[in-house]
Amino acid sequence: MLAWPLYHTLGKRHMVTFATDRPGGFDDAHIAALLKLLPILALVSEIRMKNRLARTLLETYVGSHAGELILAGATRRGSGTTVSAATMICDLRDFTRISDNWPRDDVIDLLNDYFDAMSEPIARHGGEILKFIGDGLLAIFPLNQPSACADLLRAVAEARQAMVALNKKNSETGRAPLNYGIGVHVGDVMYGNIGSRTRLDFTVIGPAVNMASRLETLTKQLGRTVLLSRAFADFVESDFDLERVGEYPVRGFSDPIELFAYHG
């Protein structure tokens, strides 16, 4: 077996190895031919590594679906498409008080644990987390999957169980339980690039997103952890145990909205 440095970049050495089952190993002609291949292999390797790095970074920061669109060239401001989706917005309660009174590192640990509890079930059930906003989370479940709305509720149920476990762990260290609210609606959203000339954000906007946000706000007022709109409930009402809460005015919408609670 032979091993050579393939190329150097940012102070790191990358290696390539060759092996043969030829009796006596490589001869001089073989070695000379392999050495000629090194510049080509180095170029291909660097391209593939940078592509993988770019893909990993985009998946980490904007999600797998948005990352694929960006890699495919969806980088023009205002570019986007209309998507029918179930939209979920989650927000932590009393975060201002926590961030004002807790040590910085404890606040960061708390947020990471909270987002783990919420995010892992969402990803597991096919949802796409578009952004974290302070202590809030925005996710969509596109309706091109027939089970999208049911999948969202399954994710919510598992997230609630994870939050129970997290609060139990926190109580053992003397921390107060974390409270949160989740608003859910369904409808068309604009999915694409929004921002300034020099900085873009890949996100969703539209009345359906606004409604989910308003419902999340109402969770505190109505004493419910999860509130669903009538439009969303119509997709899943026969399959899940939903509690009808009543009709309530929602800021920014002219007519009262019939709301349902979900206890998972």
CATH number at residue 113: 3.30.70.1230
Q: Do 103 and 178 reside in the same domain of the chain?
A: yes
The answer to whether position 71 is within a domain reads no
Q: What is the pLDDT of residues 128-169, one digit of tens each?
A: 998 888 889 999 999 999 999 999 999 999 999 999 999 999
Dist CA 140 CA 247 (whole Å)? 24
Flag whether pLDDT at 10 surpasses 60: no
The answer to whether position 140 is within a domain reads yes
The band of 7, judged by pLDDT with boundaries at 50, 70 and 90, is: low
Q: Do 33 and 151 reside in the same domain of the chain?
A: no
The answer to whether position 156 is within a domain reads yes
pLDDT for res 81 = 81
Flag whether pLDDT at 233 surpasses 90: yes
Domain, as residue range, for 14: 2-62
Q: What is the pLDDT of residues 70-79, one digit of tens each?
A: 766 666 776 7
Q: Quickly tell me which residue has 């102070």 as its tokens.
A: 11
Q: Do 217 and 255 reside in the same domain of the chain?
A: yes
The band of 2, judged by pLDDT with boundaries at 50, 70 and 90, is: low
Q: What does R_g of the chain's alpha carbons equal in angstroms?
A: 25
Q: Do 161 and 215 reside in the same domain of the chain?
A: yes
CB atoms within 10 A of CB 30: 14
Maximum distance among all Cα pairs of the chain, rounded to whole angstroms: 85
| 104 residue type, one letter | R
Collapse the DSSP code of 261 into the 3-class scheme (helix H, G, I; strand E, B; otherwise coil) and give the result.
strand
Quote the number of domains for the chain: 2
Flag whether pLDDT at 234 surpasses 80: yes
Token representation of residue 177: 């339980």
Dist CA 122 CA 156 (whole Å)? 8
- Angle at CA 116, nearest 5°, toward 111 and 118? 95
pLDDT for res 100 = 82
CA atoms within 13 A on the CB side of 159: 33
The answer to whether position 70 is within a domain reads no
Q: What percent of the chain has pLDDT over 70?
A: 88
pTM recorded for the entire structure = 0.78
Q: Do 19 and 94 reside in the same domain of the chain?
A: no
Of residues 110 and 64, more confidently modeled: 110
Flag whether pLDDT at 170 surpasses 90: no
pLDDT mean over 61-72: 68
pLDDT mean over 22-41: 86
Token representation of residue 239: 């399959």
- Nearby residues of 224 by Cβ (< 8 Å), 6 or more positions away: 181, 218, 245, 261
pLDDT for res 145 = 92
